[in-house]
Amino acid sequence: MRDKIYIIGLTIIILTFIVSLNPYILIFTAPVFLLGVGLLWFSKARLLAKTLFTFLPIILWYPSFYIFMYLTGTIGTATAQKLDFNFHEDFKGKAIVVQEINCGQEVEIVKGREQLNFPENGILLNKGKIESGYINHKYYRVTSSGEKITVPGRANYMFWDDADTEISTSEIGVWLEGMGMATQFPPGGLGDYEFLELIIASKDSLEKYQDFLYNKKVDSVKYQMMESCK
């Protein structure tokens, strides 16, 4: 009977260790892990085995978690929907993709990557759908001659005091604002719609494009385009 208790306890410890590599459920797996430890120490296993299987998972958790996150991030990015965001070379401000619009831009695939070609006003009505989850995005400014100039992605943490590299606050980058569904009913009875928003700006000009009045003007243009498209 006690040998079965050892096997059950060890099984619980191993399973909770594996599952706990997802940090979002760590708080739920920790009590179950302690249950497994309790069963292990109640069994007839040798003291060395009890000690080893109690403390080894704790010691190995962080490096295992780090490797797990690295691998899932690498694989997730590699298998994610591949999107190229192509903007006019002089564009700055908020860019919006309105998804699954019947009269929007056709889905165009070039070398395995979907091309999102934004008009000069930065508002793209698109027939395709942007998937959530891991992202594999590339951002470009397209010159009049067709040359594509890479624009780096940006996030606020890159400008923290403890950031690995120093980035100029005047350098243009792309700030991913997020995805969602508009639940309000815009003018013309257009109904709900899914969207993705970005801002193409430098860090020191970002606030200008987050202003309420500026965004109200952008939304007005967006609704006009959606109404005309409908």
* pLDDT given at position 134: 86
Residue whose structure tokens are 């995005």: 137
Residue type for position 171: E
Kindly list the distances between the CA atom of residue 183 and the CA atoms of 24, 97, 106, 191, 223, in Å, as whole numbers in the listed order.
28, 16, 25, 8, 14
Q: Which structure tokens are listed for 118?
A: 């934004």
Dihedral sign for Cα atoms in the order 158, 164, 166, 167: negative
pLDDT tens digit string along 91-137?
A: 999 999 999 888 889 999 999 999 999 999 999 999 999 988 888 99
Going through 45-158 in order, the beta strands assigned E by DSSP cover 82-88, 93-98, 109-110, 113-117, 123-125, 136-142, 148-150, 153-154
* pLDDT given at position 213: 95
Burial class (CB in 10 A: 0-12, 13-18, 19+), 1: exposed
Question: Domain coordinates of the chain in residue numbers?
Answer: 2-78, 81-229
* pLDDT given at position 14: 95
